[in-house]
Structure 1
Amino acid sequence: MAMVDKMRVVSLDAGRKYFSLEQLKNIVDMLADNGYTHLHLLVGNDGLRFILNDMRLDVAGTVYESEAVQEAIKVGNVTYYDDPNGNTLTEAEMDELLVYMGERDIELIPAVNTPGHMDAILEAMKHLGIEAPNYVYHDPDSGESTVSKRTVDLKNDRAVAFTKALVELYATYFEGKVAFFNMGLDEYANDAIPNWMPGWKNLQKCGEYADFVAYTNDLAYLLKQHGLRPIAFNDGLYFDYVIDQGTFDSNIVIAYWTAGWEDYEVASSHYFSERGHDILNTNDSWYYVIGREDKESGWYNLEQGLDGIEQAPFDQVLKDEDEAVPTLGSMIAAWCDDPDVPYIEPHLKHWLETFAQKNNQ
């Protein structure tokens, strides 16, 4: 695929932090003016900041009425982070955004991250009366238990069914409007397990990784039934190259963002490609956490992201095993790990303009 034909994507973390319709339109303008093709919008990532007019859910015979679900999600967002700028986008605002994006020739890739990064959704479940939806890590050495704030327990059938039904609501809304939908699927229960031991390794050790494989494939099937191409972040799939607890649907596009770190042994991008997965290059060398504006402000700061743009070219895929890994294109990502810090629009503009100018051929 020629570089000119490849996807050029900007990802925005609008789950942790609320972005207004006006702010999103301004970002769309930035993308259109700099040759990008897609806006990847995480409306669900720790927070869940987009609600539909009809949020009625039928979960295994239990009906949760629309107003109750809407209220529960808003309560969940407040519990996660009570953003003074707003709680959620409305369906009317998303409709307007999609029309505006069409006028600017920018496509949307929506994302609702599960089974991790679900803080607000888990709080919403508890508000609606679902018991113990959170994953609990039981330390075999100390005997102590730690509850994950952001990860659903894949052994809790009702919580899992609720999550799938919720994702399907969004899939139904976006059907016919977009081509891709990101399921997330990254960093399972990393917040609950000490010493940064990956949740994936613990699932595999306990023989529960098969539950994650089944969950992933179920979501992928659900999205395909609505005409949507599923995307997932790379770290959880084939973690440590384990295949004896199940294999993943090869139709899933892999947003390859990390080569892993100590004891976080992710499968290589070449391995995914060999197994038939398309790759969306999401090299974390380009990452920018909004509010971290200099090298003293933490990892993935703006200066680090700008340096990464200079050093890592458009098609440089992490952990490629010295093999050419074909991609659908590349995605740079702006995150809001610290949702209480201000969004500085000129800094975001400078960051995405720098990537566009560096890769303008």
Structure 2
Amino acid sequence: MKKQGIHVWLLALAVLLGIAVGLKQPPKQVAAADNRLQSVFSIDAGRKYFSVDQLETIIDRAHTDGYTDVQILLGNDALRFMLDDMSLTVDGKTYTNDAVKQAVLAGNQAYYNDPNGNALTQADMDAVLKYAAERDINIIPVINSPGHMDAILTAMTKLGINNPAFNGSKRTVDLNNDTAIAFTKALLQKYVSYFKDRVTIFNFGSDEYANDVDTGGWSKLQQTGTYRKFVAYVNGLAQMAENAGLKPMVFNDGIYYNDRTDFGTFDQDLIVSYWTAGWFGYDVAKPEFLANKGLKIMNTNDGWYWVLGRMSGNLYSYETAVASLKSKKFTDVPSASSTVPIIGSVQAVWADNPSAKLDMPALLKLMDQFSTTYTAYMPRPADYSKVDAALATVPRQLSQYTDASLAKLEATLNAVIRGKKANEQATVDGYAQAITAAVKGLQLRGADYSQVDAAIATAKKLDRQHYQDFAAVDAAIAAVKRGLDITQQSKVDAMATAIQTAIKGLALKPTPPKAPTPTTPEPAPKPTAAAPSKETNKQPPLPSTAEATTPALMLAGASLLASMGLLYWRRRETD
């Protein structure tokens, strides 16, 4: 295939897919690109199973409502995302893919056997990420540890790891169990490697350490000195993310708990998802303290929290979430006494009771209300319907147009940038106008006259003097109409056929008879000795010409004279 043919084919394919060359950009961090705060919707798909369709519905609404990101908790008590390869090697021991998968799935069932599904597959997540990228939505994956690990702890036990949980906790790994920690890190590394180059932020959770037992909690860790191991653990996860080119994020409650810095320094590249100011006996560091330590703050104000199934009540109900929209600013960080710099804000829906029914209409309505309330921070996307309509007018058969006009069309397609906001609607409409003009400006290629020219060349090589009538050929050539475009190729082909047919129908002039030419008589054959003829009554034929007998007669005469002379000479000698 010619280079030009390949180019045209690719351009046509792009149009058929509803995009054009250059329209699709890789996932980006919108806040960094647009210099505005991130607006994140978070969904707890760790405790409760969410299907691909449900996640895509949320992503669609996030796009139309002006969110920049959707955070998906995949590991939160349960672990509801299975990679294709879950095999692990820990401390020299290999756990096979099937063994790890079966153990984790069993852990999910032990936590909550969700009738809607157990876990997303890697193909499912590939689809979700692709769907989000096409709508300029960043995905923030969350796999929580060292707390909220119920299913993973069950899996470790089934795989033969002894006592992985902290002091009777059902959901928190023991930081003093080196094998359990190594297993957890190896598992997390699998997920970090998968999300590398697919997302920008990876959330490791790291909240509520062993809050389900009296011996747990951050204060107990600090009392026993184990908090130092927590600092090292979080820093190790942060480094894991950074090595993959990702930004690490954790929830705030365990970071510099009670403003204590004597156990070590947390990685300064951490993003702290600040959700709670704490409560009696739960003394978390204030947002100002964390900001002064150089940590970035993602405002995850729990005033906006809704726990599925709680439509009313005082704790994380639908009512309280809606009420908080009226009382809180987008930048209000829990317990902040002053303005704290943030990189964005998060609205979250949780599934503390995974059996609670998902009310998708209510969830989407809550997203709409959040977007409407904070519209100054969440500009809606520009309307690309005119662009899409213009794209639909691009002809499918682009190979019939000239290179110059195709180049102009391609330039307009490449100029389209998706993901612009409503305040740039005029620019987006300009894309549509440019595409429409380029389509109207497409110029058809000229028809192919090569067969016509070849037929005419054949006719010119013929000597018309040899043919009875050359008029049909002349008429066919005279009927050729130049300047037709490629859509009239059949007419041009017919012209070539007409000339070729006329040439084939030519008749040669008859050849005139030649005048007879005089002939020279053939010489008579020389006499030869012949056998005696049986027909004795027939006379031998006489020679036909003198030329044939003269030499013989002369020889005979000479012989006779010589004999007579010799006889005469002898007689005289005798006398």
| Alpha-carbon shift at residue 328 of structure 1 (Å) | 0.6
Matches within 5 A, 1:201-350: 201-295=219-313, 299-320=315-336, 322-350=337-365
SS in 2 for 1:86: coil
Match of 2:428 in 1: none
Matches within 5 A, 1:37-76: 37-76=68-107
| Alpha-carbon shift at residue 324 of structure 1 (Å) | 1.5
Aligned partner letter, 1:232: V
Match of 2:210 in 1: 189
Residue by residue over 1:63-117, the C-alpha shift from the partner in whole angstroms, topping out at 9 and shown as x without a partner, is 1111111111100000000000000000001001111101111110000000000
8 A Cα contact 1:152 1:159, kept in partner? yes
SS in 1 for 2:172: strand
Aligned partner letter, 2:192: A
Match of 1:133 in 2: 164
Aligned partner letter, 1:360: T
Output the CA distance in 2 between the equivalents of 1:166 and 1:51.
11
Aligned partner letter, 1:271: F
Output the CA distance in 2 between the equivalents of 1:78 and 1:302.
28
Q: Does 1:352 align with 2:367?
A: yes
Output the CA distance in 2 between the equivalents of 1:77 and 1:270.
38
8 A Cα contact 1:270 1:319, kept in partner? no
| Alpha-carbon shift at residue 49 of structure 1 (Å) | 0.1
1:153 paired residue among 148, 160, 174: 174
Aligned partner letter, 2:344: G
Output the CA distance in 2 between the equivalents of 1:250 and 1:81.
37
Match of 1:18 in 2: 49
Output the CA distance in 1 between the equivalents of 2:362 and 2:354.
16
| Alpha-carbon shift at residue 353 of structure 1 (Å) | 1.0
Match of 2:539 in 1: none
Residue by residue over 1:278-326, the C-alpha shift from the partner in whole angstroms, topping out at 9 and shown as x without a partner, is 110000000000111122xx62011011111211110011122x22211
Gaps of 5+ in 1: 137-146
SS in 1 for 2:233: helix
8 A Cα contact 1:81 1:339, kept in partner? yes
Match of 1:142 in 2: none
Output the CA distance in 2 between the equivalents of 1:8 and 1:289.
20
SS in 1 for 2:82: coil
Gaps of 5+ in 2: 1-30, 377-575
8 A Cα contact 1:288 1:333, kept in partner? yes
Equivalenced residue count is: 345
Match of 1:172 in 2: 193
Aligned partner letter, 2:52: L
- In proportion to residue count, which structure has more helix? 2
Residue by residue over 1:139-173, the C-alpha shift from the partner in whole angstroms, topping out at 9 and shown as x without a partner, is xxxxxxxx100000000000000000011000000
Output the CA distance in 1 between the equivalents of 2:75 and 2:40.
18
SS in 2 for 1:135: coil
| Alpha-carbon shift at residue 4 of structure 1 (Å) | 7.3
Moved segments of 4+, more than 6 Å: 1-4
SS in 1 for 2:365: helix
Aligned partner letter, 2:230: F
Match of 1:144 in 2: none
Aligned partner letter, 1:263: G
Output the CA distance in 1 between the equivalents of 2:214 and 2:305.
25
- In proportion to residue count, which structure has more strand? 1
Match of 2:442 in 1: none
